[in-house]
Amino acid sequence: MTAPLADSTSAPVSWALRFTLGDWNTSASVRTSQNDYQLPQDVQQQLQTRFWFPPAFLPYLAHPAIQAAGTTVMHRLTANHLVHFLDYTTLLEHRIVNRAVETIVHGELPAYIPPRMKTAALQLYTDEGYHALFSDRLASQIADLHGFVERPVMPLRITRMNALIARTTESQRPLAWFLLGFVSETIIARELLEVCRETLVSSVNSMLRDHLSDEARHSRYFSEVFHYLWLTLNSRQRTFTARTLLDAIGIFFEVDERWLRQSLRGVGIAETDVAQIVSGLATARANRQRARSGAGATLHALEQAGFFALPHNRKLFAKAGLIDE
């Protein structure tokens, strides 16, 4: 029997809470939030001191061509980034994470699913539907405010994850879906935590904080289920899991080059500057650095599950630059 697992930000959970979402009935945003996620009437005034999306997360904003373009252009770029992120979130929650949850709920994984694990999965499924709802609602308001008409643009991440599933054999697809959900939910909690530390437009901040509160529980839950599942997998399944995890982590830290080019061109940035910005962000080294920094919770969960006790897995991830030898 294994010890209770911990997420990346809290003490180990008690056995009574393992494989559950804890006090979901009294804490999940879908059950408790009073926020309507409507843009505030004083949004233009707020934007004098606040942001749509943290500039620190968008290093290309520091490029001289963007700095020279002024505040209006910066706000439009951050608004466009936020809308794209929210549209991506809507797709991710519905088509990726909830598909991963379905593999737990409907017994598609190669393991017995305890009743409380299934109950928590159904609760998580409900959470993700709500996240998609408020992400879409807020994205539409911001798009209307700024006159963004060509949306949603299919995010590269979603395309790449669908391609990963398409090239996976039918018998292994449920496990692949689960692994995509596991990587997504352990990464997004860190992303939201960092974003929420910035001063954002009030309704955006409220939405992100509600989302973060839920995702902290989701990250812990997926980590626990992964640990449970890992102990049941045979050698062939473990080899497939290691390769798929490495591919999935890589997908989450690629730059969506086509979308970024369109965003920059849309505010009049010169083509030479666009090329310079994109090429600087899309190198293999930059991708590895983002992955190593951003996938900390995922890597921690793998460590806790004993994944890196296998020398092959440690060597595989070290070669990819995600961990030290």
Closest to 114 in 3D by CA, of 24, 32, 260, 225: 225
* Within a domain: 50: no
Is residue 137 one of the residues assigned to a domain?
yes
In a domain, 311, yes or no: yes
**DSSP character string of 3-50:** PPP--SSSPPPPGGGTTS-SSHHHH-HHHH-----PPPTTHHHHTTT-
Does 133 reside within a domain? yes
Q: Is residue 8 one of the residues assigned to a domain?
A: no
CA distance readout (Å), 8 to 19, 130, 236, 297: 16, 24, 29, 5
Residue identified by tokens 């979901």 is 24
Total domains in the chain come to 1
Residue 216: give its domain's CATH number.
1.10.620.20
| Structural tokens at position 9 | 């930000």
Q: For residue range 155-207, what is the model confidence (pLDDT) as tens digits?
A: 999 999 999 999 999 999 999 999 999 999 999 877 777 777 778 999 999 99
Give residue 19's region: left, alpha or beta (phi > 0; psi -120 to 50): left
- Domain range for 89 is 63-319
Q: Report if residue 33 sits inside a domain.
A: no
| Residue 40 maps to a domain | no
The first and second tokens of residue 281, run together, are 């962000």
Residue 17 lies in a domain: no
pLDDT given for residue 196 in this prediction: 73
pTM, full prediction: 0.92
Residue ranges for the chain with pLDDT beneath 70: 1-16
